[in-house]
A = this chain, B = another copy of it.
Amino acid sequence: MHVTEQCLPANEVLARVGDKWTVLIVMLLGDGPQRFSELRRRIGTISQRMLTLTLRNLERDGLATRTVTPSIPPRVDYELTPLGHSLRGPLTALGGWAVENHPAMVAARSRYDAAQRDAA
């Protein structure tokens, strides 16, 4: 099996999960079901629009469920599906790599940029 064939779905998942808010929200939902406003408050800087869009996409991809309680005021809870929970494993693995090697990447960038400046 060629590498490229493995990479098509892998890249699609990465592109999907690599957007600005998905990882954060999946991890927050890992703590258990939560309301829209609770997620909004915990993230702090996200716009209503992006929170809605990201949650919609998670629902669409079968990673989360959306439960509406028709009360006044209305209440909507989001929860990871088993599929969504299963994503947390590989995600935390990559997260572990990130926290461990992020300093090295930042350092490499500084060196590279410094070298570029010297050349200029």
A108 touches B61 (CB 8 A): yes
Interface range, A side: 35 or more
B108 touches A97 (CB 8 A): no
Q: Classify the interface of chain A: helix, strand, loop or mixed.
A: helix
B10 touches A95 (CB 8 A): yes
Oligomeric state, in copies: 2
Question: Which A residues have a C-beta under 8 Å from some C-beta of B?
Answer: 3-4, 6-7, 9-15, 17-20, 23-24, 27-28, 30-31, 42-43, 59-63, 83, 86-87, 89-91, 93-99, 101-102, 104-105, 107-109, 111-113
Task: Supply 21 A–B pairs (Cβ within 8 Å), ascending by A.
Answer: A4-B28, A6-B27, A6-B95, A7-B27, A9-B98, A10-B99, A12-B102, A13-B94, A13-B101, A13-B102, A14-B17, A61-B105, A61-B108, A62-B104, A62-B107, A63-B108, A86-B101, A87-B101, A90-B90, A90-B93, A94-B94
